Structure 1
Amino acid sequence: MMGQSGLEIHRTQSSVISAMQSLIESADESLTIALPKSALSAFMPQLSAAIERDVLVLLLVHGDETASTPAYEDIATAVRTIESGITPLLVTADMQRGLTGHSGLLTDSMAEHQATTFDNENLAHDEFTMFLGSHWLMGTECYVADMCAFPRTFSAFQFAVLMAALALREGTPITARARVLSTTDRTETTISGPVINARQSLVYPASSKNPAERSLTIDADSGPVTVGGAGATKEAYECLEITLDRLDDH
């Protein structure tokens, strides 16, 4: 059981694998995962099921170059590779809970390492931000999912930004209808219009030098407005839910 702080220490390989599998299974919207490539096989069923649930899966793999490369399209939305020894073992689920520790726990069952699971939104947000702002940026993109079928409604804003970026990258005009909160007075409203920009560093080409920035610019009736994710402050609106569609379908 976790203590009141929401922390639990894991010192065995089997315990860490079980904890990671449970975290992956718990995700409804998004997963970030950094782990040795040679350990991927232990999580393939859970990752595949997450993709089937339309969870955003950002997977960062490192280590053994001789390890077989799986069919990434079955287990991830985007995959990057990074040199071994740089990245810790890391999982976040829905930016609500996660695990961090030494990646040697998955590659050496006799090593004296440990990992910590946490059920704490602030910790999860910090780990998610570190994952994208540091480790993900250092990685090399080796797989990105195809642009999704439209229309599609997203509750995970970063997933909407990724798909909008892919659409814009491919020259596919898209429109958005978003339920949002004003970042100035917190009033709720709905805005709609063509998506004219996606600021992000989730996929190539990165359009923002700030790794924490994920925003869309929508050409609404009143003119272009910016929409950010949960906790947005620099954008005009914070997104609660957004539907993307092909512009030529209207």
Structure 2
Amino acid sequence: MDDPTLSRLLREFGFSDKEIDIYLTVLDHGEAKASVVADDAGVSKRYVYSVSEDLAERGFVSVNDHSVPTTIRAVPPEEVVDALTDTAEQMRPALESRYSRVAPQSDEFEVIKARVTVLKRITALIRETDEEVTLSVPHDHLSEVADELRDAVDRGVLVLLVVTGADPGADLGLDGLATVARAWEESMPTMITADRTRSIVAPPEMIARSNSGERAIAFTQRQLAPVMIGSFFGNYWPMAQEVYVADAHDLPETYDDFRQAVLQATLHLRTGRELVATVRGQPTDGDDGPGEIEGQVVAVRQGLVEPANNSFPVEAALVVETGAGRYSVGGDGAFVEDYEASEVVLDFAEE
């Protein structure tokens, strides 16, 4: 390996050019006085002392300052490499753990040819969801995803479920499988959007018949997920009949998923209790404004549970009365409302 390549690799370990010159000089001598290193590296002796202390802390050299004159000795390269390897291995679990949490989502599209694969993918998406699932599935296939839906509800995920090909007046066994569930006797595409990012849509014929020849599409793209959610709430959710609503959460509670906050506020307000909300986020007009607002929740606009009172299908909003005025609050990407929320804390007002 030539010197330029070795210098480049040392830079990747955080060495400056002068540190490289000093370290390579020490390596060349094995052990040398600070004055010799300074002369060969073209730096001051004081700078050699300073850099050598840093190199010693990092395990590259040792400084013998108990003798006169002080000498600097290179640590055997095999020991240096072993120490660097050990450090890298110690970092591996933390790096892998963090990578699994923040690895970027790809924008891939995938065509799925088999019904069984679609249902397995839906099951996996439900299992991996942290905040919100919108799902339509034929009642005949509900049992294939029921365990995952129940687990999702138990861990606080907002599950909005439409079962198709089902009589709304029948006992459909939906308790605990959703936060809000609706039923529709007609067929509709089997579709899921998880955490407003990952989606799958399959034609009704594909799920109804294993050899239909139809294809499903899976994609991971945050820009397209709202289209799927808009279709779900605009075309199918209003057509189905509400058949199950879970009990409201105990408060206080913090919500990253704004639709969940709107739903819980709606359920509690309908009991006659007064609520206060602490909302963290930003004004939607782009002007500088408060990073947090707090006040009484005086109204909601929503279509998650009946009776709906929103003015368009995906509208979900809180109206919060603060000391500085009244704010309409929307979720991620809000533009109609006054304030875009990233987090909402709901609690009962003091009586």
TM-score between both structures, scaled by the size of structure 1: 0.92
Q: Which position in structure 1 is the counterpart of 2:221?
A: 120
Moved more, 117-126 or 61-70: 61-70
Q: Which position in structure 1 is the counterpart of 2:258?
A: 157
Q: 2:230 aligns with which of 129, 139, 155?
A: 129
Deviations for 1:103-154, whole angstroms, at most 9, x for unmatched residues?
3333322322221111111221110111012210111111111111000100
CA distance in 1, matches of 2:196, 2:304: 16
Q: Which position in structure 2 is the counterpart of 1:101?
A: 202
CA distance in 1, matches of 2:201, 2:350: 44
Contact 2:166 2:183 in 1 (8 A): no
Contact 1:35 1:103 in 2 (8 A): no
CA distance in 2, matches of 1:68, 1:195: 35
Deviations for 1:15-65, whole angstroms, at most 9, x for unmatched residues?
111111111112111000011111100001111111122100000011144
Deviations for 1:158-197, whole angstroms, at most 9, x for unmatched residues?
1000111111222121110110211122645111111000
Letter in 1 for 2:206: L
1:203 has 2:311 as partner: no
CA distance in 1, matches of 2:108, 2:287: 30
| Residues paired across the two proteins, number | 244
Structure 1: tracts of 5 or more residues without a match: none
Q: Which position in structure 1 is the counterpart of 2:275?
A: 174
CA distance in 2, matches of 1:5, 1:151: 37
Q: Which position in structure 2 is the counterpart of 1:56?
A: 158
Q: Are residues 68 and 9 of structure 1, via their aligned partners in 2, closer, same or farther at CA, if it must alter by over 3 Å? A: farther
Q: What do you get for the CA RMSD once the two structures are aligned?
A: 1.8
CA distance in 1, matches of 2:235, 2:213: 26
Q: Which position in structure 1 is the counterpart of 2:120?
A: 18
Contact 1:97 1:123 in 2 (8 A): no
Which of the two has higher C-alpha Rg? 2
Q: Give 3-state SS (helix, strand or coil) of 1:184's partner.
A: coil
Higher RCO (Cα < 8 Å, 6 or more apart): 1
Q: Are residues 25 and 65 of structure 1, via their aligned partners in 2, closer, same or farther at CA, if it must alter by over 3 Å? A: same
Residue 5 of structure 1 deviates from its aligned partner by 4.9
Q: Are residues 68 and 17 of structure 1, via their aligned partners in 2, closer, same or farther at CA, if it must alter by over 3 Å? A: farther
CA distance in 1, matches of 2:341, 2:244: 27
Identity between Structure 1 and Structure 2 (%): 34
Q: Which position in structure 1 is the counterpart of 2:94?
A: none
Letter in 2 for 1:231: G
CA distance in 2, matches of 1:206, 1:126: 21
Q: Which position in structure 2 is the counterpart of 1:213?
A: 315
TM-score between both structures, scaled by the size of structure 2: 0.66
Contact 1:38 1:107 in 2 (8 A): no
Moved more, 181-190 or 196-205: 181-190
- Structure 1 or 2: more helix by fraction: 2
- Structure 1 or 2: more strand by fraction: 1
